[in-house]
Amino acid sequence: MKRKIKGIKNRPRLCIFRSNKHIYAQIIDDSINQIITSSSTLNKIIKTNIKLSNNCNAARSVGKHIAQQSKALGIREIIFDRQNKIYHGRIQALAEAVREEGIKF
């Protein structure tokens, strides 16, 4: 049985979704059921910087972008939700990029 991961106001949840072509990241406050900020390989800023949207370099740029957005909103700590996917490849690259920007989880 899968354990539910919940974010709280002072520590929201970073939810990662990975498809075959793209990777998406959302910071969600589960206490009010609201998405605070989001980023993906479909963003115009990220799309211009990457050649392929389904590799680790694209995931790193999404991680860096979501971390910069969260720091601008004053979020320093998050709960990492990888949605039952293995911590490997693109998900690991995104998580490490977020950690490099100074977000703790």
Phi, psi of 70 (to 5 degrees): -70, -35
The predicted-structure confidence for 53-84, as pLDDT tens digits, reads as follows 999 999 999 999 999 999 999 999 999 999 99
pTM of the model: 0.92
CA–CA–CA angle 70, 13, 64 (5° rounding): 40
Q: Where are the domains of the chain?
A: 13-100
Q: What is the pLDDT of residues 32-42, one digit of tens each?
A: 999 999 999 99
Say if CB 14 and CB 79 are below 8 A apart: yes
Architecture of domain 13-100: 2-Layer Sandwich (3.30)
